Structure 1
Amino acid sequence: MVGIKDDFCIEELICCESFQQYCLGTSLADQILWDEWIEKIPHRKTDFEEAKKIVNILNVKQGSRLSQIKDLKEGIKYRNAFVEKIELGTEPNLNHKRAYLKYTIGIAAAIVAVLFLYFYSNPYLKDKNTPNIFKHYSSGMAVRRTIILSDGTVITLAKESSIQLDDAYDTGKRELWLTGEAFFDVKHDTAHPFIVHTSFNDVKVLGTTFNIKAYPNSKTTETSLIHGSVRIDSKSNPGNFVILKPNQKVVSNNQSETKDESVTKEYKVSVLQTDSFSKKPEETKWIRSRLDIDNLPLSAIAQKLQTWYGIEVLIADEEVKDYRYSGTFENETIVKTLEALQLSYPFKFEIENNKITIKK
């Protein structure tokens, strides 16, 4: 939660440190949180953009941070009282008008000072050569898109879903932020836990297979565990968490405003329901593919995989293109499908820059 009501005034946004970090692009968590919040109140988008613009352009230093914040808060308070008088039909006298003008100027000066000091003290802005550390992957309107991370973790995004991570992921800090729905096949690494952040929960694992459904406008967030173990930590009630076992699913209420809820009230745990025909969990039905192959060359199979999983597949050797296969495959990820095909012919495949290359 952003901690600001839907009837906010622009000054409130500008003075909010979380909003400042969002505007400056220095906090990925704040970026996702504010983007999702503004989607819920589209009628305030113009005011939201105005506040964002002010944060990004002001860079003048005046006075100390504490005194300017004090002036700003007093100015906002007086402004609100002044507006109330106007709405009640009370005609302000000349002194009131002068005072209002004084505090209006004070507000502008305070905003300038607060934002400058924030900019000045922010480490990301001191070095203009600092690159944008965030990586963003989105499925857009595609039915699904596969992302293979540097540690071998395979993520399949559902339609209109995205993940964001920074360069620290490659150095062992395996954290990312999810908006929408995704299926995760996490590479096991005891020394480096894998953490998925959503707006309402943090999901922590070591190496496992699970599905998260966390669309911004949904009333609930769902986490379904296929293999391994995951822990879901509440953001609204720190200290509340639940640990899932294989073939379990947890549903949490995104719209609950109640603090200090018990774990049993905040999280509803149930057994995964399976499809009567495939015996696979219903929650992962969107990710499964039944690939029927009848004497097809690998070149045609590669095209099918590329279309279905949403990841580029290249064949480097001409001879490999002519390998022919027959059979039926049903797997959760493209990596498992290729590994199954390797049982028939001795080809190799490499993954680099989120691209799969098949070689002899």
Structure 2
Amino acid sequence: MNQHEFDILLQKYLAGTCSSEEERQVLEWSERVHSLAPEPLAGTEARAMEQKIWKKIRQNALPARRWDMPVVRMGMGIAAAVLLTMALYVFRPGIFGSSTEPVASQNIPVKDVTSAKSGFLIVKNTSGSERSLTLEDGSVIVLAKESTLRYPRHFDPKNRQVELEGEAVFNIKRDTSRPFFVYSGELVTQVLGTSFKVTSFGNARTIEVQVLSGKVSVYENQEKSSQSRNGVVLRPNQKVTFDKEAKKLVPELVPAPVMVEPPVQKRELAFEESPLQTVLNALQKAYDIEIVVENPALNNCTFTGDITGLPLHTQLRFICKSVNADYELRGTSFFVNGEGCPK
């Protein structure tokens, strides 16, 4: 149905001359649009919006000569519903064609929304920037541009599952009775409640999962037993890259690790003649990472300095330089080695 045909259908519905099949089409369209409706206005805002809606409808949807036709077979409740759905039709692009009116309350430009009977919604961010949406459980998802999310209107009582094509940051509401699963191509990310980022574009060779807080389990989306399933558990400042061709998961640290403690608990990293192991333990706790001292003689060394606020790699370089040592990143762990210090 093109734009002109749809305009005529709305006119017939308002005039009460629709056939039963045409009325069914309008009601199905109304149901889809209602699912995307913003929070209702109140008071003077509502009245002002109503006047603006009717003015727009007169100009664009209904010819002037048809406007005074009596409305038959339509009670006040149905008329109000039609007013709302037509308001969304006029001011929300992307449902049936396009509009030049600005969209004031729209977080996600919706590319396609499935029938309500299917129980699922498909949302695509067609804007030029990130957009957020909140699921029924309170979880918040920030969807990157050109990314698509498929999720149920109502989650299963035993689990919560969504499908992602593209990139998104997930802030999952904790629920120990219902784990949250993100299906992204050949990978599954499972959590109870945490923050993480998934990048999974269909034409890319790799899929990446990065943890921002909490822990996640990432494994292949294949029919395998739990004993042979290829997977890893990630903590903050860690990520995993899955090579689709090699079928290989590679865990590693993110390029710029950040402290996992809240800002109100900002850690001061100032030391004076402190044992090296004490200094490294402070870094491990601050970043939730592992630092392995390969030569026990390094534990005889001490460090003096204030490295508060510096990036992790800069902190490690200063520490190692002061004790004549070097560090190496292997996977998700740092290894420190050097000649050490005399007792």
**What band does the TM-score fall into relative to the shorter chain?**
0.3 to 0.5
Q: Could you say which structure has the higher helix fraction? A: 1
Q: Which has the higher contact order (CA 8 A, sep 6+)?
A: 1
Q: Mark the structure with the bigger radius of gyration.
A: 2
